[in-house]
Amino acid sequence: MLRSLYTALLYVFAPMALAGTALRGLRDPAYRDRLSERLGFTNAVAPASAQRRIWIHAVSVGEVQAAAPLVRALLKKYPQHSFLVTTATPTGAQRVRALFGDSVAAHAYLPYDLPGAVRRFLNRVRPSLAIVMEREIWPNLFGECKHRRIPLLLASARISERSAARHRNFAALFSEALSGNVIVAAQTAHDADRYRAIGARHALVTGNVKFDIETPLAAREAGEQLRLTQLANRPVWVAGSTHDGEEQQVLAAHRLVMAQRPDALLVLVPRHPNRFDAVRSWLKAEQINFAARSRNDSVTVETSVLLVDTLGELMTFYAAADIAFVGGSLIATVGGHNLLEPAVLERPVLVGPHNFNAPDIAQLMLDRGAARQVTSAEQLAAVILELYTNPSTRAEMGAKASAIVAENRGALNRVMDLIEPLLQAPSQIT
């Protein structure tokens, strides 16, 4: 009954969502591409051969990045299989192409959770195994996978207490979705308990595959070269994955830093490409002397901000910098982004107070002294100035951050151990 009501509401709102995506395409043409895939009409058809297919869903850029170690491990272990990666956003699709190129044979957009769209999608892609990253639960999609006896693994699964409470209000709907063929490989014991509370029958703790982030040697080398050629002898800090409402605080902090260190350089990396033009215009209005990465502008002694308005270069600039601030954390609505990216590069990490996307990682890094929390532009500036004057403290924080990553690796192997029997005997989950 509850699932029927859920589906009826989707039929009401799906046309609005499709229209909204089309309208968004007026500003960002990527959103106009492949609109039919939102209704299950994907061109990512499974090969005609007997080759089996592994399907991985990662909703957007962050989840694609988190899935990268798992996808690479699967490609290496199962070269005889074909692979499909789905996302919900064009930026996620772009990240799939940037990370995996032709090694992943197909990309598609996940369809809306309408019964017909889901059936069309599965008829075309015909997966032997579905892997969903982190926290996506779609009752009709999961139900159709169960009907077709397609095993489904929630990898590196997480759910906040607030989200779990909302899900418990619709316990019958989510209990049905998470029963039978679904295995929840949770990040923490708390996550596993919350999934069980909303109906998961098979929930176990495997850890967070984000800790299995690969040391990006190419990014490290590119960052070191960039530092030598353009950023030498300057104090450099990165504000990575920033959002509207946060960039204003970051720039205010940078102005306070420059009052004492006029040679300081801020590398500003907005999270979403569709905001690049707006951020460029805003910096002009603020009368900031900035260089735009997309235009290959040179960074001169007069440049105070380097705007990275390109995709896929955040790790390079973390490697080139002295200090990393990780965005999405100074505003209450986003929940923070990946602290492990600068950590694996041995950079001291600064972060705002809002980290509900990965609270355990944030708390661990704060408790261990690998990260410092700031709540305002003034605090951010003060900590940056403190770290600039204490190179040994920067090095100590960076070493602690890298050690945390090293100590918590292993989730990838535990998830891979779950995948092998699912591919061998997918019908045995009950």
Question: Is 47 in the same domain as 98?
Answer: yes
* Position 315 in a domain: yes
pLDDT the model gives residue 273:
87
pLDDT the model gives residue 427:
46
* Position 332 in a domain: yes
* Position 289 in a domain: yes
* Position 398 in a domain: yes
* Position 5 in a domain: no
**Beta carbons within 10 angstroms of residue 143's beta carbon:** 21
pLDDT the model gives residue 65:
83
Q: What is the pLDDT along the chain (430 residues), one digit of tens a residue?
A: 789 999 999 999 989 998 888 888 877 788 888 899 999 999 988 887 767 999 999 998 888 988 999 999 999 999 999 999 999 998 889 889 888 887 776 899 999 999 999 999 999 999 999 999 998 999 999 999 999 999 999 999 999 888 999 999 998 899 999 987 899 999 999 999 999 999 999 999 999 999 998 888 999 999 999 999 999 889 999 999 999 999 999 999 999 999 999 999 999 999 988 899 999 999 999 999 999 999 999 999 999 999 999 988 999 999 999 999 999 999 998 889 999 999 999 999 999 999 987 888 999 999 999 999 999 999 999 999 999 999 999 999 999 999 999 999 999 999 999 999 999 854 444 4
Please name which of 332, 331, 313 lies closest in space to residue 240, comparing C-alpha atoms: 313
* Position 22 in a domain: no
* Position 19 in a domain: no
Please name which of 30, 5, 14 lies closest in space to residue 276, comparing C-alpha atoms: 30
Please report where in the chains the tokens 């007069």 appear, as a residue: 302
Of 63, 247, 313, 341, catalytic: 63
Question: Is 296 in the same domain as 417?
Answer: no
Report the distance separating Cα 337 and Cα 242, nearest Å: 9
91 — phi, psi (to 5°)? -65, -35
Helix, strand, coil abundance in the chain, percent, nearest 5: 50, 15, 35
- The CATH number given to whatever domain includes residue 355 is 3.40.50.2000
Question: Is 68 in the same domain as 117?
Answer: yes
Give the pTM: 0.81
Question: Is 141 in the same domain as 186?
Answer: yes
Question: Is 163 in the same domain as 245?
Answer: no
Please name which of 292, 358, 281 lies closest in space to residue 326, comparing C-alpha atoms: 358
* Position 17 in a domain: no
Cα dihedral 218, 224, 226, 229 in deg (nearest 10):
-140
Residue 63 designated active-site: yes
pLDDT the model gives residue 227:
94
- The CATH number given to whatever domain includes residue 168 is 3.40.50.11720
Boundaries of domain holding 99: 28-207+410-428
Question: Is 145 in the same domain as 256?
Answer: no
Number of folded domains that form the chain: 2
Question: Is 302 in the same domain as 390?
Answer: yes
